[in-house]
Amino acid sequence: VDPTLDLFEEINRLKKEKNAIILAHYYQEPDIQDIADYIGDSLGLSREAANTDADIIVFAGVHFMAETAKMLSPQKKVLLPDLKAGCSLADSAPAPLFKKFLEKYPDHVVVSYVNCSAELKTLTDICCTSTNAVDVINSIPLDQKIIFAPDKNLGAYLIKKTGRDMVLWNGACMVHEIFSNEKITKLMLRHPHAEFIAHPECEEHILAKASYIGSTTGLLKYTQKSPAKEFIVATEAGILHQMQKASPDKVFIPAPPENNCACNECPYMRLNTLEKLYLCMKHELPEIILPDWVIQQGRVCIDRMLEISQ
């Protein structure tokens, strides 16, 4: 791409020309968030994908999110700037293995976190996101046994929160598993007035320290309404961009990871760049293509989720 090109201008031009909408997750790099038509959490993005009247959905997020958008709007063209933008959590539950696992629990209802492949969704009864997971679990009759996949950390949090005993699949998000308890403790001591807040994909010992636990939207809203002036935030650092924009007078500190060489940026989310966004809009590639049976069977669990969390 010509380095003198004004990518913001070009992307805005292509948006109008092609009647395209850019949906971006909070974990995208700040430039992408700034050019997006809608920025949100997984639930908000699904709703937006289901309701848009644009011809093209450009999904600035990861593969499972773009697949969900395709399932909800199959007649639309759904583009993802980089097809390699996957998800360690979705990868931790390959559909063939999960299918075998389900054979051991034939009388269980299957609840899957939206962070899973489209194929896994075809094996799922009800989907959920971190925003509506508690409501989804609570909507299931008490005598009904439940399997929750793929995130064992969110699953453990939900067991605690709802009091329901669930069989958990052993998956996790690589970004939310790297936080250091010890370093967070030290940071909290150095910032005694800071509130520690966390995403429920974090491990239990990290969540135990948090004064608020919630989805990305939940965390963002919490920082706006809390009287605290300082926050230590245990989730992907991309969300800090919107937190800082919404509360310019407050201080946001990303929670430190265990390993000094690591950072809490999702390597998959960060594969998308402004340049790739521009190229994918220009060439209308890469496009998300799903077999018809996957769209039909996979969207049932998403529709159920959207009905529950109206």
For ligand 13P, the binding residues (CB under 6 A) are 26, 41-42, 115, 129-131, 173, 201, 215-216
Strand-pair partners of 166: 146
Decide if residue 62 touches ligand SF4 (CB under 6 A).
yes
How far is residue 195's CA from residue 198's CA, in Å, rounded to a whole number?
10
CB nearer to ligand 13P: pick between 14 and 66: 66
> CB under 5 to 8 A by kind: which of ligand 13P, ligand SF4, none does 102 bind?
none
Q: Both tokens of residue 96? A: 């063939």
Q: What span, in angstroms and rounded, lies between the C-alpha atoms of 190 and 193?
A: 9
Q: What does 130 interact with, of ligand 13P, ligand SF4, none (CB < 5 to 8 A by kind)?
A: ligand 13P
Residue 271 DSSP symbol: G
Contact 66, 24 (CB under 8 A): no
Q: Which of 11, 140, 175, 233 binds ligand SF4 (CB under 6 A)?
A: 175
CB of 41 to ligand SF4, least distance (A): 11
- Which are the contacts of 46, defined by CB distance < 8 A and separation ≥ 6? 68, 69, 72, 114, 129, 302, 306
Is 216 marked within a binding site? Answer: yes
Name the segment binding ligand SF4 (CB under 6 A); options: 3-11, 85-93, 152-160, 297-305: 85-93
200 is in an annotated binding site: yes
Q: Which does 88 bind (CB under 5 to 8 A by kind): ligand SF4, ligand 13P, none?
A: ligand SF4
Q: Give CA 80 to chain center in angstroms.
A: 15
Q: Which does residue 153 touch among ligand SF4, ligand 13P, none (CB within 5 to 8 A, set by kind)?
A: none
Question: Do strands 38-40 and 56-60 pair parallel, antiparallel, or not at all (unpaired)?
Answer: unpaired
Which positions from 110 through 169 interact with ligand SF4, judged by CB under 6 A? 115
